[in-house]
Amino acid sequence: MRKFIYVFMTFLSVLFISNARAELHVDVVAGGVDPISIAVQKFEVVGKVSNSDAKMLREVVENDLKRTGLFRIVNHDAFPEFVKMNDMPNFKSWAAIKTQNLVQASLKAEGKDDYKLEFYLWDVNGKEQIEAQSLVASKKSVRRLAHIMADAIYERLTGETGYFDTQIVFIAETGSVKNRTKRMAIMDQDGYGMRYLSDKKTMVMSPHFSPNMSNVIFLSYRNDDPMVWVLDLDTGDQMKLGNFGGMSFAPRFSPDGNKVALSLVKNGITNIYEYNINDKTLKQLTFGKHIDTSPSYSPDGKYLAFNSDSTGSQQIHVLDLNTGKQKRITFGAGRYATPAWSPDGQFIAFTKMADDTFYVGIMNPQGRHEKILAGGWYMEAPSWAPGSRRVVYYETEKTDDGMERISHIRSVDITGQNIYDIDLPDGVNGTEPTWSPKLP
């Protein structure tokens, strides 16, 4: 039952807008980058505005930018001045404390139920305003304003797609190892506002968003019958995807949202099928007496990555959906699984098992230039943020006595740096996260 959020943006007419961008260029292998220093002023308030809301917005914007590892937030105590909206900053003073960019913002009450947020982004060295926006949203969804603002700043200064105004759907596990309850849950990308999407009675797994964010597809064990179901996020309604005559699992939407790739077990054999949502037809894509699963579409919808044990060990293969031809792309030591194609098509994220250790890594679609991003006792289920800069996954750790398992949802940059946990409520273990597209 998704909360409808009314948000619109208008670009202000600003005399000093520049087309130049102070873009970051990061070496994917080496990961070297000098962070951009940015100062975010205290938000001005106009009308009946909660000061706590204004303070919260500033904190969210700063935290969003800081967590990327690409920005250095200038200490508030070092600010040389407070620049009112529509006033020019003293660029020399800001440059003296090594500030590259300055953000001004105001929060205004719009009628009874809405807030209007305006902000300016200044290039201190260039002595010009490079971004100006006006955002309006319901007071109930005020936090989204901060994420949208942070996205705009991030995109203007890096040239990349922002990912702050997004959500993560995952499996929230509670209870002891021997008596775990698994419920589907959703939260903002920074862990805020977690809520459950399923009850305690039915075990669910493998949730994934539709491209338009209207649905979540998932595996549900209802009456001990594992089948693929679809949840409508607007209404809360759930329906079985289809009656396929066998156990179905590992579903993924196609980029256009019209098809679903899934694994289907028939006569003890697991192959990958494609279900056409519009005409309700099922097409078999892989053939053989082995296990093919974890399908992931390329962003253009022309290829499908999946893992298969057809060559004797679990490896990643790529299927050409036009010709039906497939090829194995992983040949490194160990087993490979759970491929996830990046939104820009440049990478495939994967899970690797070697030397009694689990790893999350990335490679190009030909299986070359493999880079390990993280390793541990158990980790799985990589999923991409919009823009293909970060990967979210989960890692499970044993307690010292070996009696418990604690699962964290973590995010890592494609350079393998800046790993952080996404905070969950006390007692909640997070597994199988999937990052959403940017919210509509």
Digit-coded pLDDT (tens) for 193-252: 999 999 998 889 999 999 999 999 999 988 777 899 999 999 999 999 987 877 889 999
Is 124:89 a contact under the CB 8 Å cutoff?
yes
Residue 16 pLDDT: 34
Beta bridge partners of residue 420, listed in sequence order: 411
| CA 297/CA 305 separation, integer angstroms | 6
Residues 6+ apart with CB under 8 A from 267: none
Angle between helices 142-158 and 51-67 (to 10 degrees): 40
Q: How confident is the model at residue 5 (pLDDT cuts 50, 70, 90)?
A: very low
For residues 81-107, average pLDDT: 97
The answer as to CATH 3.40.50.10070 being correct for domain 7-158 is yes
Q: How confident is the model at residue 8 (pLDDT cuts 50, 70, 90)?
A: very low
| Gap between the terminal Cα atoms of the chain | 15
| CA 208/CA 231 separation, integer angstroms | 10
Token look-up 């991409």 returns 384
Domain limits, CATH 3.40.50.10070, in the chain: 7-158
Domain limits, CATH 2.120.10.30, in the chain: 168-435
Q: How confident is the model at residue 21 (pLDDT cuts 50, 70, 90)?
A: very low
Q: How confident is the model at residue 1 (pLDDT cuts 50, 70, 90)?
A: very low
* Pairing state between β 128-138 and 7-11: antiparallel
| CA 210/CA 216 separation, integer angstroms | 6
How is residue 363 written in tokens? 């490679």
For residues 250-275, average pLDDT: 95
Architecture category of domain 168-435 in CATH: 6 Propeller (2.120)
Residue 9 pLDDT: 41
Q: What is the 3-state secondary structure (H, E, C) of the chain?
A: CCCCCCEEEEECCCCCCCCCCCCCCCCCCCCCCCCEEEEECCCEEECCCCHHHHHHHHHHHHHHHHHCCCEEECCHHHCCCCCCCCCCCCHHHHHHCCCCEEEEEEEEEECCCEEEEEEEEEECCCCEEEEEEEEEEEHHHHHHHHHHHHHHHHHHHHCCCCCCCCEEEEEEEECCHHHCEEEEEEEECCCCCCEECCCCCCEEEEEEECCCCCEEEEEEEECCEEEEEEEECCCCCEEECCCCCCEEEEEEECCCCCEEEEEEEECCEEEEEEEECCCCEEEECCCCCCEEEEEEECCCCCEEEEEECCCCCCEEEEEECCCCCEEECCCCCCEEEEEEECCCCCCEEEEEEECCEEEEEEECCCCCCCEEEEEECEEEEEEECCCCCEEEEEEEEECCCCCCEEEEEEEEECCCCCCEECCCCCCCEEEEEEECCCCC
Beta bridge partners of residue 151, listed in sequence order: none
Q: Which of 39-53, 69-83, 208-222, 232-246 has the lowest mean pLDDT?
A: 232-246
Distances (CA, A) of 420 to 138, 208, 412: 30, 22, 7
Q: How confident is the model at residue 32 (pLDDT cuts 50, 70, 90)?
A: low
Residue 267 pLDDT: 86
How is residue 329 written in tokens? 């792309």
* Pairing state between β 429-435 and 247-253: unpaired
Token look-up 């200044």 returns 122
Residues 6+ apart with CB under 8 A from 12: 118, 132, 133, 134
Residue 243 pLDDT: 79
Is 401:411 a contact under the CB 8 Å cutoff?
no
| CA 168/CA 435 separation, integer angstroms | 5
Q: Count the Cβ atoms, other than its own, within 10 Å of residue 344.
A: 14
Is 353:330 a contact under the CB 8 Å cutoff?
no
Residue 284 pLDDT: 96
Q: How confident is the model at residue 34 (pLDDT cuts 50, 70, 90)?
A: confident
Residue whose C-alpha is closest to residue 63's, from 146, 168, 169: 146
Q: Per-residue pLDDT tens for 278-332?
A: 999 999 999 989 999 999 999 999 999 999 999 999 999 999 999 999 999 999 8
Residue whose C-alpha is closest to residue 125's, from 105, 99, 104: 99
For residues 40-62, average pLDDT: 95
Q: Per-residue pLDDT tens for 386-440?
A: 999 999 999 999 877 666 789 999 999 999 999 999 999 999 999 999 999 999 8
Q: Count the Cβ atoms, other than its own, within 10 Å of residue 160.
A: 18
Mean pLDDT of the chain: 91
